[in-house]
Amino acid sequence: MAGLAAGGAAVGFLGPQRALLVSAGAYLAAAAAVRLQLPDLPPAPQTVGHEERQTNGSLLRLSWSGNTKLLAEPRVRSLLFAQWVPPALVAGAESLAVPFTSGHGMPAGSAGLLLACLPLGMFVGDLAIGRFLRPAARERLVVPLIVVLGLPLVGFALEPSRVVGAALLLVSGTGFAYALGLQRPFLEAVPEARRGQAFALLTAGLMSVQGMGPVLCGAVAEFTGSGDAMALAGLATVCRAAWLVIK
């Protein structure tokens, strides 16, 4: 949230091109700090099987083989998709905030208000769930929190005002805390030797689907309008929660 605020301020003061240059410089500084300040640690002991040690160190081959084996495990695959699908759908709905506000004649800056509410709700939800609930309680709340994540978005089918829309996104953002309840089951489902790769796959997949969500929701919005597309994304998120119950 602080980064988004700083980025917006940088664009306002410097313009988009200079702000991008500042951002690139910040990444270079971060990379230099990581390289120079983190200690050199010895590699972890080789615990992979004989078959994987025969791959002649091909990083691409190791990555492909490891990811394939992880996705072949039903429990691991189910937990991965549980952490990928809801954020992808909500990111797609969030991406329609600008066309929603402009299409409904809302004042300038309304899209920024809506876009700020989802991460704010996420911050509040993660803080509350992570700070005050034990792991077992977080795991019991996974499905209800996915419902909280998706259900408020259904309200955009009613074309809410700017204030009501902001409140809906704020409540929706708190549902992102469901992911905290999947951390321990995911860790336990993955063999110890593959945990590093499993979390890399989780992160890479999450970034990928959050890019695909806006494309999908944007395509739907071409036929239904932005509000209805946001509502459909929320409904699909609730259906995903129901699928977890069935499974």
144 occurs within a structural domain: yes
Quick one: residue 145, left, alpha or beta (phi over 0 = left, psi -120 to 50 = alpha)?
Answer: alpha
- The reported pLDDT for the residue numbered 41 is 74
In the chain, how many domains are there? 2
State percent of the chain over pLDDT 70: 88
C-alpha 42/C-alpha 31 separation (Å) is 20
45 occurs within a structural domain: no
What is the domain extent for residue 17?
2-37
49 occurs within a structural domain: no
Do 136 and 201 sit in the same domain of this protein? yes
DSSP 202-213: HHHHHHHHHHHH
- The reported pLDDT for the residue numbered 147 is 95
Mean pLDDT value across residues 223-229: 94
Distances (CA, A) of 4 to 25, 39, 89, 195: 17, 30, 21, 31
Judged on CB neighbours under 10 Å (0-12, 13-18, 19+), 68 is exposed
- The reported pLDDT for the residue numbered 19 is 83
Q: Is pLDDT of 239 > 80?
A: yes
- Across the chain, how many H-helices and E-strands are there? 13, 0
Residues 195-212 pLDDT 10s: 888 898 999 999 999 999
Residues 37-69 pLDDT 10s: 888 777 666 554 544 444 445 667 777 887 888
108 occurs within a structural domain: yes
- Write phi, then psi, for 202 (nearest 5 degrees): -60, -45
Is residue 117 a contact partner of residue 166, using CB atoms and an 8 Å limit?
yes
Do 173 and 88 sit in the same domain of this protein? yes
CATH code of 234's domain: 1.20.1250.20
Residues 96-139 pLDDT 10s: 998 999 888 888 778 888 988 998 999 999 999 999 999 899 99
6 occurs within a structural domain: yes
- The reported pLDDT for the residue numbered 43 is 64
Is residue 184 a contact partner of residue 83, using CB atoms and an 8 Å limit?
no
Residue type, 16: P
Mean pLDDT value across residues 223-230: 94
Do 12 and 79 sit in the same domain of this protein? no
- The reported pLDDT for the residue numbered 55 is 47
Do 15 and 81 sit in the same domain of this protein? no
- The reported pLDDT for the residue numbered 47 is 52
Least confident of 56-60, 81-85, 91-95: 56-60
Tell me, what DSSP letter sits at residue 44?
P
Mean pLDDT value across residues 219-235: 94
C-alpha 226/C-alpha 180 separation (Å) is 30
Do 8 and 124 sit in the same domain of this protein? no
Is residue 212 a contact partner of residue 121, using CB atoms and an 8 Å limit?
no
Do 106 and 30 sit in the same domain of this protein? no
Do 140 and 218 sit in the same domain of this protein? yes
**Token pair belonging to 86:** 């809801």
Is residue 241 a contact partner of residue 120, using CB atoms and an 8 Å limit?
no
